[in-house]
């Protein structure tokens, strides 16, 4: 249901040009139905599941994107820009286990980590252990806080 609603809305938003015709809505409806049926086999929760549409979750997601994520993104960008000019780097690949069970949660955390400069998700193994390339390491065994700040907690709160 989540895929259906997202693809329906995206098509309408892309094709909207001031007014909405019945034909556009029909095309959007049929395309969204096809897409959601094709992708439903790869989703664990099934076609009619409403879990992805809970407004509470989306509200938390929006708060996350504009709150801690935006702050982390800005801080990390300035930090990398500084290191770029001074050349003070100390790279290495470290691992940590955020204990996320769902694929969606892992995807969100991995994308957040990769989008933040200075940290890059290289691999995730089957147990959910993240292997992360860090631009400036302080120790060989950093904690979760050192690598991704509050992102792990938020991913657990939104998607678990």
Partner 1 sequence: MVLGIFVGLLLLVGLVFNCLGVASMYRFPDVYTRMHGATKCTTFGTLFTIFGLLLYSFVRFIAVEGESRFMVLFIHVFIAGVVLMISNPTGAHALARAAHRSKTLPEPALVDVLEEKERHKGGIAA
**Using CB under 8 A as the criterion, which residues of the chain lie in contact with partner 1 when the complex forms?**
10, 13-14, 16-18, 73-74, 77, 80-81, 84, 87, 89-95, 110-118, 120-123, 131, 133, 135, 137, 140
**CB of residue 23 vs partner 1: minimum separation in angstroms?**
18
Angle at CA of residue 157, ends 120 and 139, nearest 5°? 35
Phi and psi dihedrals of 134, rounded to 5?
-110, 135
CB of 99 to partner 1, least distance (A): 18
Nearest CB to partner 1, comparing residues 46 and 124: 124
Q: How far is the CB of 111 from partner 1 (least distance, A)?
A: 4
Looking at beta carbons only, is 117 or 128 nearer to partner 1? 117
Closest CB to partner 1 among 49 and 111? Answer: 111
Distance CA 104, CA 107 (A): 5
Please report how close the Cβ of residue 98 comes to partner 1 at its closest, in angstroms: 15
| β strands within the chain, DSSP E | 92-96, 119-124, 130-134
The whole-angstrom separation of Cα 24 and Cα 137 is 52
- Between 33 and 81, CB nearer to partner 1: 81
| Dist CA 126 CA 97 (whole Å) | 11
């Amino acid at each position: 249901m989540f895929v259906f609603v997202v693809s329906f809305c995206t098509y309408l938003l892309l094709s909207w040009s001031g007014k909405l015709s019945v034909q556009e809505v029909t095309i959007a409806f049929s395309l969204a139905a096809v897409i959601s049926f094709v992708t439903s086999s790869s989703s664990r929760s099934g076609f009619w599941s409403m879990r992805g549409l809970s407004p509470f979750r989306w509200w938390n997601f929006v708060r996350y994107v504009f709150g801690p994520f935006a702050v982390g993104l800005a801080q990390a960008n300035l930090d990398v820009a500084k290191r770029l000019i001074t050349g003070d780097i100390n790279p290495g690949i470290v691992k940590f286990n955020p204990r996320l069970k769902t694929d969606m949660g892992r995807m969100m955390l991995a994308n957040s980590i990769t989008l933040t400069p200075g940290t890059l998700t290289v691999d995730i193994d089957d147990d959910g252990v993240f292997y992360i390339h860090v631009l400036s390491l302080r120790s060989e065994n950093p904690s979760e806080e050192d690598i991704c700040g509050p992102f792990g907690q938020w991913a657990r709160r939104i998607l678990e």
